Structure formats: C-alpha cells, structure tokens
C-alpha cells in the first residue's frame, strides 16, 4: 500500500471528478457501470486504501464539525449556537456520543485547514455545520464511507444529504410583507453577487419579490458579512438614496447594525425607516426597537440533522435528500405602514 496515494490521484488516474470518486467509494447511486469500474480499477492499480463502510444500525457516536470564523467561537454565534444545541439535545435523547471540533473558515466560509476529526475512524457519521465543502475537504471525506449531513452548509456537488433554510422563499416573503405595508423603495443590506449560497438566495428572493411587484428600483449595499456588519455601508446607502423607506437585512446582526447606522444619518425606526430581518436570533428580540424578522427554527435544524444521519446509516443507498426548514414571519416593532 502506498500511503501517499490520495483521492486526487484516483480522480486523475480514472479521468473523473473528485465528487464522482467519492460517490463510487461510498457506493452511492447515479454513477454508470462503466465509470464505476474505471474508478475501482484505478483504486486497485494505485493501491489506494478505502476504509470499510460502517455497519448498518443505530448511531452510537457521531462527529460534529462546526465552522469558526476568525476568533469567534461557534458558541458565541447566535445562529450556530442554537443549531448546536439542537444537535446536542437529539444526541442526549438518543444516547449518542458526540465528538465536537471547530473548522476554521475564511470570509467565504471555505475551510482554511483540515482537522483530525475529518479523518476520524471511530464515528458512525459526521455533521458539517456552516462550512462550504470544497475540494480540499472532499479529498479527505472521500476516504470515508460513513454518512455525512450538511447543516446550513453547502457543496459544489450533490453528494451529501443536507438541512438548510428556505432562504429564497423566506426572503421573498419578507420583501412581500414590506410591499403590503406600502413600501416601494426597499433596500437590501448584506450580500454579494458571489456570496455564500444562503445569502445569495436571500438576494434572489429580494429581487424576485420586487420584480413580481413591477418595481424596477433596487438599492443594494453589497459587502461580505464576515468582513463587515454594514454600519458604514448602510449610512452610505441611505445618504445616496434618501427615498428608501425600508431595508431588508440578511441577518439579525446586520439589521441591528443597520438600526444604528440609520440613526446616525437622522432616520428613526420605524417612524421613517422600516427594517425587516432574517434568522430571529436572540439579537432580534433584544434590539431597540425589537426586530420584525423571519424566524428560522435552528434547534429543529440541528435535531433533524441527527435524524437524517441515522436514516442514512440504515439506508445507505436511498436517494440523496435535502430537508428545507421553512422560516416564519415574527412581527415586532421595526416595520411601520407607509402613510
């Protein structure tokens, strides 16, 4: 056996992508017989070591790998701390041991290093929380045959089960709510064209709602939410476009910052500027004024991820699944009718 042989070598040798090799090694459907044979022959020819698949049965020990941006721990993140509590609760209730580690990510949520947990041999499955599964991570995951579920996480491929929020529809509904309140000059705060998929979908939801209402004016403060909370960007947007009567913030942290920025330029919330948000973390209920927002059941997101992992362990050949959590509007104090 050659320890230096990696999944990348297998992909190059067989002339297919990393994701295809991963699917073959995990015995997943959707791969032609010819391709499957070519990959397996490359594995044998190169002496690539494939770990034995986990035995079917109940989960007894799982890994939870949670994104960590700069020096902010996941426990301090108002969104992911609740996801983690849902995972932990489901594990306690089902007698599952939980192995936990953080995965440092860059400003676009791409992992910047590999951790031993990714290559851990003694787990029945793995939950990837909040990170983008790029080719670097896939090269490691491809060595493993245990099930993997992405939780508010994304990949370039469709190789993994996932639990995500319905970002597009919920954002559409948030803007639709503003429109019903009489707002026509609505801004979007906290996204980029090439943003993380969840934020990009929120941008698309905003644009679709305005388009269907035959509104052509869009006002977007573009920035990376991991680099900025938007204070300066919101001030600039409101100064350049005083006609704006409402803002949609892509998360509660951005929306709280938008409140502060709006006050700095002389706008009062909600008297002359309404703000609607997304996530409904603890920040929303404690903002001043309290934020109207789209509530994401993050605890349920974590709980159902454990259930999906259990199902996948017992049904390794079932079709790949994506479970979508549908956010609900929570009305508070930050949106007013246009007089």
pLDDT in the model for residue 1 = 42
> Measured in whole angstroms, how far is the alpha carbon of residue 318 from the centre of its chain?
23
* DSSP percent split of the chain into helix, strand, coil, nearest 5: 40, 20, 40
Q: Note whether 310 and 247 are within 8 A (CB).
A: no
pLDDT in the model for residue 302 = 96
pLDDT in the model for residue 242 = 96
CB-based burial label for 86 (10 Å; 0-12, 13-18, 19+): buried
For 61-164+299-325, CATH gives 3.40.50.2300
pLDDT in the model for residue 57 = 61
pTM above 0.85, yes or no: no
Nearest to 185 by CA among 25, 27, 338: 338
CB atoms within 10 A of CB 194: 9
Q: Note whether 271 and 92 are within 8 A (CB).
A: no
Please, how many CA atoms are within 13 Å of residue 290, restricted to the half-sphere of its CB? 9
What separation in angstroms does the CA of 279 have from each of 48, 92, 243, 306?
44, 25, 27, 21
Mean pLDDT of 258-280: 96
Strand partners, 329: 294
Do 167-296 and 61-164+299-325 fall under one CATH topology?
Answer: yes
Mean pLDDT of 293-311: 96
CB atoms within 10 A of CB 224: 15
**In which band, very low, low, confident or very high, does the pLDDT at 67 lie, cut at 50, 70 and 90?**
confident
Q: What are phi and psi of 229, to 5 degrees?
A: -95, 0
**In which band, very low, low, confident or very high, does the pLDDT at 3 lie, cut at 50, 70 and 90?**
low
Average pLDDT, the chain: 87
Work out the angle between the directed axes of helices 33-46 and 18-25 (0-180°, nearest 10).
90
* Rounded Cα–Cα distance for residues 43 and 65 (Å): 28
Q: Residue holding tokens 């989960």?
A: 59
What is the topology classification, in CATH, of domain 167-296? Rossmann fold (3.40.50)
Whether the per-residue pLDDT at 174 is higher than 90: the answer is yes
Enumerate the domain spans of the chain: 7-46, 61-164+299-325, 167-296
Nearest to 120 by CA among 59, 170, 51: 51
* Rounded Cα–Cα distance for residues 178 and 238 (Å): 17
Give the single-character DSSP code of 74.
Answer: G
Higher per-residue confidence, 68 vs 296: 296
pLDDT in the model for residue 100 = 86
Q: Residue holding tokens 């290559």?
A: 119
Q: What are phi and psi of 88, to 5 degrees?
A: -60, -40
Residues 189-217: tens digit of each pLDDT: 998 888 889 999 999 999 999 999 999 99
* Rounded Cα–Cα distance for residues 46 and 31 (Å): 21
Mean pLDDT of 14-43: 78
* Rounded Cα–Cα distance for residues 60 and 76 (Å): 28
């Amino acid at each position: 056996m050659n320890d230096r042989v990696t999944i990348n070598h297998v992909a190059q040798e067989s002339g297919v992508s990393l994701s295809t090799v991963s699917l073959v090694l995990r015995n997943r459907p959707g791969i032609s017989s010819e391709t499957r044979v070519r990959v397996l022959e490359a594995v044998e020819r190169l002496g690539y070591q494939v770990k034995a698949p986990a035995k079917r049965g109940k989960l007894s020990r799982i890994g939870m790998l949670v994104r960590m941006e700069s020096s902010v721990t996941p426990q301090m993140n108002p969104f992911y701390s609740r996801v983690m509590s849902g995972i932990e609760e489901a594990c306690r209730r089902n007698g599952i041991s939980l192995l936990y580690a953080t995965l440092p990510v860059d400003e676009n949520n791409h992992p910047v290093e590999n951790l031993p947990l990714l290559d851990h041999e003694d787990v029945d499955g793995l939950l990837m929380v909040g990170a983008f599964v790029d080719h670097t991570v896939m090269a490691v995951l491809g060595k493993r045959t245990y099930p993997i579920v992405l939780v508010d996480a994304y990949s370039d491929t469709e190789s993994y089960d996932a639990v995500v929020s319905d970002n597009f529809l919920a954002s559409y509904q948030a803007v639709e709510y503003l429109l019903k309140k009489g707002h026509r000059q609505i801004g979007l705060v906290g996204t980029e064209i090439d943003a993380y998929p969840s934020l990009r979908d929120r941008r698309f939801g905003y644009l679709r709602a305005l388009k269907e209402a035959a509104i052509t004016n869009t006002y977007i403060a573009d920035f990376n939410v991991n680099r900025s909370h938007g204070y300066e960007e919101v001030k600039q947007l409101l100064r350049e476009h005083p006609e704006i009567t409402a803002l949609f913030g892509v998360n509660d942290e951005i929306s709280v910052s938008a409140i502060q920025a709006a006050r700095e330029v002389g706008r009062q919330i909600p008297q002359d500027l309404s703000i609607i948000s997304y996530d409904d973390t603890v920040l929303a209920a404690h903002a001043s004024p309290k934020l109207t927002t789209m509530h994401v059941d993050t605890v349920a997101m974590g709980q159902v991820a454990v259930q999906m992992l259990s199902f996948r362990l017992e049904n390794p050949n079932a079709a790949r699944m994506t479970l979508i959590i549908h956010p609900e509007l929570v009305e508070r104090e930050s949106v007013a009718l246009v007089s």
